[in-house]
Amino acid sequence: MNRAKRLAPVQDVVEAAERRLAQSLADLQRRVAEAESKLLELERYRGEYQHGFTQRAGGGIGVAQLRDYQAFLSRLSEAIRQQQSVLQRTCSDRDAEQQRWQQAARRVKAVDHVVDQWQAEERRATEQREQRETDDRGQHSRRRDL
């Protein structure tokens, strides 16, 4: 078995690892998009709620309603802070996974490069051997003809 074929199992392993990391990275990117979407939705809702309250407050509002508004706005602001934290952690996880995937992709490229080099060396060796054999046959043929 030639060297390139012996490296095939290693090549399969590093390619499988790279594919798994690529899938994981895609999943994390989807989670980042979902977290961003949820954050935007919460911020949009808070803006709408504040706008609606401002319109209602213009016509007069009671103390109990004001207290309820402040309590709800506080809970909503806390939900936004928590979602920002979720988004930040998810982005950090994605960035770390992207680095792992890039390293795996570099390993795949390196192994592929070695395999390509070895295959090229094997082709050259085969071509040289065939050329020697052809030359030898030609020399033997000429000797017989003499």
CA distances from 42 to 19, 38, 47, 73, 83 (A): 35, 6, 9, 11, 9
Q: Can you give the C-alpha Rg of the chain in angstroms?
A: 34
Q: For the chain, give every domain's residue range.
A: 3-145
| Residue (of 1, 7, 87, 75) closest to 39 by Cα position | 87
User: Each residue's pLDDT tens digit in the chain (146 positions)?
Assistant: 688 888 889 999 999 999 999 999 999 999 999 999 999 999 999 999 999 888 887 777 888 888 998 899 999 999 999 999 999 999 999 999 999 999 999 999 999 999 999 999 999 999 999 899 888 887 877 666 65
pTM of the model: 0.74
Q: Which CATH number fits domain 3-145: 2.60.120.260, 3.10.520.10, 1.10.1370.20, 1.10.287.1700?
A: 1.10.287.1700
